[in-house]
Structure 1
Amino acid sequence: MQFTSGDLDPAASIMISTHLEFCPCCRQKVAAYEDEISQQLAAEESAVDIVDASGTATTETPPLSPDLAAMMQQIMSQNTEPEPNHESPQPQTITLGDKTYPLPRALRRHQQEIGPWSRLPGNIKRAQVAVGGSSKMNFIFMDSDSSLPEHTHQGQEITLVLAGQFHDEHGTYRAGDFIVQTAEHRHVPKTEQGEDCLCLTLLDAPLHFTSGLATLLNPFSQLFFRG
């Protein structure tokens, strides 16, 4: 509902928009929310106070004007997917070595905000996406037979799988899956031999590593979060 009414920050809106590219169920939910909002707007705009001959005030809802009816119809028939950019062609893929992945439509207009790729522990690569807001968005690429050290979360972590799959102690996640982790969760994301995974993540606080040598990174986690 917050996404539909435009109350989310840019990064969260991009995450939802990208998930909608994969999920027909959530597209139906957004369409239902749009219909609900448009009906509320129509009721608010069309309710008028009328005073009859006896001086009694009543509230009636007259028929919509042709212009307003057309506007409501346009709102209710809107496509939840971003409008295509006709000004210039946008890059449509992400290339990592010899592998190429489709770039989500919601991110094509932000191609210039995708930073360089850097390496993380566990044969992981990261590229920041500077779309504004207090939360940090990153592409995360997990190569074949890789894992991120065991960690929990100082805030909320949202992960959207874009291609491939990974698993942890709680399940297996495939393209389109939208996973929310909080301080209550501790996990070790992994890929199997011969498979890799590209994800989009959104963090509102640094990770906290909980085992092995990775715990030595915790004093620097805030720098990682900012960087």
Structure 2
Amino acid sequence: MTNVHFHPSDDTLARYAAGDLDPASSIMMSAHLEYCINCRLRIDELEASYTQVLESTPAEPMTCGLTEMLSQILSQPAEPLGVEPVPISGVLKLDNKEFHLPRALQRHKDEIGPWSRLPGKIQRAYVSTGGKSKMNFIYMEPDSALPEHTHQGLEITLVLSGRFTDEHASYGPGDFIVQTTEHQHSPKTRPGQDCLCLTLLDAPLHFTSGLATLLNPFSQLFFRC
């Protein structure tokens, strides 16, 4: 898939290539790579550059074997990330709908919790990944909206199917959207258009307008297992 407009930062790509991301962030990145040819090519470049650095760095006698082993690992990714689109497999069933999932998520199929309803015609299912960040599937029904909010930490959203919009842009499959404490928005779907996303939060949301502000004392509901 090539119609991806929002991508991880260069720093995040570099940390992924170096194996320096936490498990939940690595899952998000792996899923994004199955949609985005440009980021796959960038990862290939980064891994190649790491291999060159290792090969050009003089090694102490006791570490020669380790350097050679690391070089081989970096030069042979566990999964090919070539220029051809990677096929997407696995199905997530919700109500009467079926959604095809990236392989990175299909591997965690047994770690997906039950679906629950949130305000605004939105459903959520927790994904157990370990660590402090909370990963959730978020399903937005057609003509639904999440109240306007900001973030007490970092929020990463990966669109898996459908489309949603906010005050800043329209987001489709493969888009990797990063929101911080500086961002404020109200995600919504249009009539006849639903959306399935994967989200990663390291702190609860903070609602900023209307009656939704009354939910702030209970914002842990958006962050708990």
Distance 1:223 1:194, change over 3 A: closer
Task: Report Cα offsets for 1:110-144 as digits up to 9, x if no partner.
Answer: 11110000001100000010101111100000011
Give the aligned partner of residue 178 of structure 2. 180
Pairs aligned (count): 201
In the TM superposition, residue 80 of structure 1 has moved relative to its aligned partner by 4.4
Give the aligned partner of residue 12 of structure 1. 25
Letter in 1 for 2:23: P
Which protein, 1 or 2, shows the higher relative CO under an 8 Å CA cutoff with sep ≥ 6? 2
Distance in 2 (alpha carbons) for counterparts of 1:22 and 1:149: 28
Task: Report Cα offsets for 1:189-215 as digits up to 9, x if no partner.
Answer: 010010000000000100001112221
In the TM superposition, residue 75 of structure 1 has moved relative to its aligned partner by 3.8
Any idea what SS the aligned residue of 1:183 has? coil
In the TM superposition, residue 16 of structure 1 has moved relative to its aligned partner by 0.5
Alignment of 1:10-159 (within 5 A): 10-44=23-57, 72=71, 75-78=74-77, 80=79, 92-159=90-157
Distance 1:45 1:111, change over 3 A: farther
Give the aligned partner of residue 62 of structure 1. none
Q: TM-score, normalised by structure 2?
A: 0.82
Unaligned runs of 5+ in 1: 49-67, 83-90
In the TM superposition, residue 39 of structure 1 has moved relative to its aligned partner by 1.1
Cα contact 2:50–2:74 (8 A) shared by 1? no
Higher gyration radius (CA): 1
Unaligned runs of 5+ in 2: 1-13, 62-67, 82-88
Letter in 1 for 2:77: Q
Give the aligned partner of residue 64 of structure 1. none
Distance in 2 (alpha carbons) for counterparts of 1:81 and 1:175: 21
Any idea what SS the aligned residue of 1:226 has? coil
Distance in 1 (alpha carbons) for counterparts of 2:184 and 2:195: 20
Distance in 1 (alpha carbons) for counterparts of 2:192 and 2:138: 17
Identity of aligned residues (%): 60
Cα contact 1:122–1:147 (8 A) shared by 2? yes
Any idea what SS the aligned residue of 1:179 has? strand
Q: Does 2:179 align with 1:166?
A: no
Cα contact 1:21–1:81 (8 A) shared by 2? no
Distance in 1 (alpha carbons) for counterparts of 2:162 and 2:118: 19
Any idea what SS the aligned residue of 2:185 has? coil
Q: TM-score, normalised by structure 1?
A: 0.82
Any idea what SS the aligned residue of 2:16 has? helix
